[in-house]
Chain A
Amino acid sequence: MELVPAILFLQSILAATWRMATPILYAAVGEVFSERAGVLNIGLEGIMLIGAFAAYSTAYETGSLLLGLVAAIISGLLSGLLFAVFTVTVKANQIVVGAAFNMIGMGITGFLYRAFYAESGKILSLKTFLPVDIPVLSSIPFFGEVFFRHNLMVYATLILVPLASFILYRTAFGLSISAVGEHPKAADTVGINVLRTRYVSILIGTSLAAIGGAFLVLAYADQFVEGIVTGRGFIALAVVVFGGWSPWGAMGTSLLFGVFYALQLRIQAMPDVLIPYQFLQALPYFATLLVLVGLTKRRVRAPKALGIPY
C-alpha cells in the first residue's frame, strides 16, 4: 500500500472506532455502578435490546429522536426495577434472573417487532442523529475526521465517563456504593441503606444499558432488526472486568474493542478478501480477549460481595 491510502485506511478505522465503542461504553459504565454495588447483571444484552426497541418504536411513531431516547431510558428504568425486585428484594440468584432478562429481551422485542413493523412495503428507517462537525477542529486533517465529526450520543460519552468517575470516587454516594459492594454489613452498621443503594445502582446500570441499545437504532443503524445488539451486552460485561471496575478503564477497553470492530468492517468491505465474513465478525471479540489477557498484569479484584444478595 502506498502512503496516502494507508493513512486514509487508518483514518477510516479510527474514525469508526469511537462510534463502535459507544454502545458498549454506555452499557459498561452502567454495569460498573451495578457491580461496584455488588450486583452482577448479566441481563445487559436483553436490556439493551429492550432499550433499542423502545427507542425505535417511539422515534418511529413520533418522529422525535429525543423522545425515542427518553422512551429507552424509561424502558431501562422499568427493566431495572423488575431486575432489582427479583435480585435485591426477593434475593433471587442474579445469574438466573440476568439470563431470564436476556431471553425476555430477545423474545419480547422480536415479537413486538414482527407484530407491528414486519409488514412489507413500509418504510422503516429513521432519520438518525447526524454527525455534528466541531467548527475549525473538524477541518484538521486526519484528526478532524477521527475526533471531531461524530454525532451527539458519541460526544456525550466524554461527559458520561468523567461524570461517572466523579460520582463513584468523589461523592458520598460513590463511597456508599463501594461499601455496599465490598462489605454490605459494614455499610449497614453505619446507617447506609444497603437495599436502596443497590436499587439505585441497578437503575443507573439498566438505564445506561438501554441508552446503549438506543444508540444502535438512533445513531448507528437507522432501524430495528431482531437481535440488533449482537452480543454487545456480553462484551460490556467483559469490558467491566478488564477495565478494573472503573469508568475510565471501561472506556479504554471499549475503544480497544471498537478498533477491532472497525478493522473487521473495513476488511469485509475489501473486494479481494476471501475470508468468510463470519470469521471476520468474530475477530473483534477474539482479538479484544487476547489483547486484554496479555495486557492485564495488575489484577484488580472484583467487589467482594459481587453476586451475593444482602
Chain B
Amino acid sequence: MEECTSENANQAYILRMENICKSFPGGVQANRNITLEVRPGEIHCLLGENGAGKTVLMSILYGLYKPDSGTIYFKGKKLDIHSTKDAIENRIGMVHQHFMLVPTLTVAENVVLGQYQPWKVLNDMDKVHQRIRTMSDEFGLDVDPSKVVQDLSVGEQQRVEILKALYHGADLLILDEPTAVLTPQESEHLLKFLRDLANRGLTIIFITHKLEEVMQVSDRVTVLRDGRVVGTVNTRDTNPRELARMMVGREVLMELKKAKTEPGKVIFSVRNLRVKDARGLEVVRGVSFEVREREVLGIAGVSGNGQTELALALAGLIESDFDEMRLDGQLITKRDLQRLNRLGMAHIPEDRQKMGLILPFSVAENFVLKTYRDEPFARRGFLQFDTIREYTRSQVSKFSIRVGDIEEEIAHLSGGNQQKVVVARELDRQPRFLLVNQPTRGIDIGATEFVRQQILVERDAGAAILLISADLEEIFALSDRILVMFEGRFMGEVPPDPALVEQVGLMMAGKTVQTSG
C-alpha cells in the first residue's frame, strides 16, 4: 500500500471522481461517497455485483444522471457534465450494456446521429461511409457502414458501438458488461482489442462482475459493494478469491461440490423435435435427446440459437412438432400443461419477470401461483390465507430469501431473491423432470451459488434435469453431459471436462469439431 501512495503522487490521474453520492426516489442509495481514480492509458475494472452501483457511477460520468453531490476532475480540470453531449465533447465515450443503436437505421446513420445541427442536410454520407471504413480497417473492427443495424449480429452491433464512440472522439472509453452477450471467442477477441486500444493510449473503464475477465484484462480494479468503494487494487497483486470476498463481503465457494452419481432410467426423451418461432421460422430443427434420472444434461450455446423456443416447447408453452416425446414413460401427444405438471415436470423459465412471476402480486401470492387451487391452500373454493402465509414464511426462511414482508410486492425484491422464489416454488413440487433455462442470469454471486447448489441437490435426489444456459462456466460446473446448440441443431456432445471449454466455444460459433471421448 505504501508503494501505491507514493506512485499516486507521481502519476497524474486522467479521471478523478470525488465523493460521488446518488440516491433515487424510493430511497435507494446507489452511490455512497464514491471516490474513483483512473490513470491514463490503463484498463481499470469496476467490479461489483448487480446493484452495487457500477453502472450508476458511470452514467453520472457520462451525463445520464446528475449526482446529488461530489465532483469530477477530468484531465486535471473540474468537469461539469449536464448531459451526454458534454461528455462526448470532453472525449468520453460509453458502450452501454443494452446497445444504444437505433435498429432501423444504418450503421453510418447511427454513427452520425446527434452529431449535426438539425437543419444539416445529409448530403455527405459518402464521406462518412469512407471514414467508417477507414477506421474499421485501422482498428480491425470489420464494420460495414451501409448495413442496417437490426440485420447485424450482437457481436457486430457491439463493434459498431465501439466504433461510434471512437468516431465521436474518445480519450476515455467506458464499457458496461461488454462480454455478457458474446461467445467465448468473441470475448477473447474483444479483450485483446481493448488491450490494443489501451496500448495506443486510450484509457478504458471496464464494468464487469466476472472475476476471470478482471484478472485477464485489467491493470487495476476498483471493487464496489452496496454503493460503496471496498477498495482499489493492482490486478497483479490480487487473486480471484480475494476479489470475490471484496465483492460479496464474505467467503464464497468458488467451486461446487458435485458428487459422482450413476444415472438411472430415462425420464424424459424426445425424438426429432421441431419448433417455429413467433415469425414462423423454424428455429429448432429436428433435435433428439434423452435425460436420465440423477443426471444434468447441459445445453450450451449463444443466446438466440433456438434455446428459448426449445425450452418453451418442452414446457408446453408453445406448439411444436416431434416424432415421439415421453415423460416418465408416458407418451406425450399434445400440448397439455396440466398433464405435464401431473407427470412431474417443473420449469424454471428464462425470464423470471415475464414468465416466472407476476410482479404486482405479493411474495406469498407468487409462492402459490401453481397450487392455489389445491388443498390446503384452498378449501371449497376459498383461499386459506393463513395457510398460504404460514407456508410462505417457512419457505422464505428455508431458502433464506431476503424479504421485508411476505405481503410485499415481489417487484420490489432484488433479482437474486426473485429467482430464489421461483426456484423454491418449482423445487418444492419435487419434480421428476426439471427444465431450467438461464437460472442465474442477472443475479448476484450469492444467489447464483445458492441456485446452482439447489440444482445439484435436486439431481442427487433423483431428478432428471435439463439445463439450458449461455454461461459456459455454469454449464461445465453443473452438467454431466453437454450438448452444444447452434442455429437450432446440436453440434455434438461433450463431457464436462474443463479442458474442452475452448472446443465447446468453437462449436457454439458453428464450427464442427471432432468430438472424441
Contacts and interface: CB of A to CB of B under 8 A. Distances in A.
Interface stretch (A66-74, A128-136, A171-179, A267-275): A171-179
A189 B164 CA distance: 12
A192 interface: yes
A186 interface: yes
Contacts, number: 77
Contacts of B84: 188-191
A170 interface: yes
Nearest to A188: B84
A164 interface: no
Chain B interface main SS type: loop
Given A188-B84, A190-B88, A175 B64 contact: no
Given A172-B120, A173-B118, A176-B114, A189 B62 contact: yes
Given A171-B119, A172-B116, A190 B100 contact: yes
Contacts of B346: none
Interface string B345-385: 00000000000000000000000000000000000000000
B113 A192 contact: yes
Given A170-B121, A171-B120, A188 B102 contact: no
A187 interface: yes
Given A170-B122, A172-B120, A187 B105 contact: no
Given A190-B88, A191-B83, A175 B94 contact: no
A171 B101 CA distance: 18
Nearest to A174: B122
Interface in A284-310: 301, 304
A113 B168 CA distance: 56
A189 B122 contact: no
Interface string A186-212: 111111100000000000000000000
A191 B168 CA distance: 12
A178 B114 contact: no
A183 interface: yes
A172 B116 CA distance: 6
Interface in B85-118: 85, 88, 94, 96, 99-105, 109-110, 112-118
Give the size category of B's interface with A.
Answer: 20 to 34
A185 B101 CA distance: 9
Chain A interface main SS type: helix
A87 B83 CA distance: 23
Contacts of A182: 102-105
Given A172-B119, A172-B120, A191 B104 contact: no
Contacts of B122: 170-172, 175
A247 B105 CA distance: 18
B105 A175 contact: yes
B105 A191 contact: no
A22 to B, nearest CB: 28
Nearest to A197: B118
Contacts of A188: 64, 84
Interface string A13-52: 0000000000000000000000000000000000000000
Nearest to A200: B118
B64 A186 contact: no
A59 to B, nearest CB: 32
Interface string B16-36: 000000000000000000000
A190 B122 CA distance: 17
A179 B102 contact: yes
Contacts of B114: 176, 179, 187, 190-192
Among A178, A185, A190, A304, chain B packs the most CB atoms within 10 A around the CB of: A190
A187 B119 contact: no
A37 to B, nearest CB: 13
Contact of A175 (B85, B100, B113): B113
Given A171-B120, A173-B119, A175-B113, A189 B64 contact: yes
A183 B100 contact: yes
Among A170, A175, A187, A192, chain B packs the most CB atoms within 10 A around the CB of: A175
Among B62, B100, B113, chain A packs the most CB atoms within 10 A around the CB of: B113
A191 B164 CA distance: 13
Contacts of A301: 104
Interface in A224-254: none
14 contacts: A170-B122, A170-B123, A171-B118, A171-B119, A172-B116, A172-B118, A175-B109, A175-B113, A176-B118, A179-B113, A186-B99, A190-B100, A192-B114, A304-B103
Given A172-B122, A186-B99, 14 more contacts: A171-B121, A173-B118, A175-B109, A178-B104, A182-B103, A182-B104, A183-B103, A185-B100, A186-B102, A187-B113, A189-B64, A190-B100, A191-B83, A301-B104
Interface of B: 62, 64, 83-85, 88, 94, 96, 99-105, 109-110, 112-123, 164, 168
- Among all A-B residue pairs, the 9 with the closest Cβ atoms: A191-B85, A190-B114, A173-B118, A186-B100, A172-B116, A172-B120, A192-B114, A189-B100, A191-B114
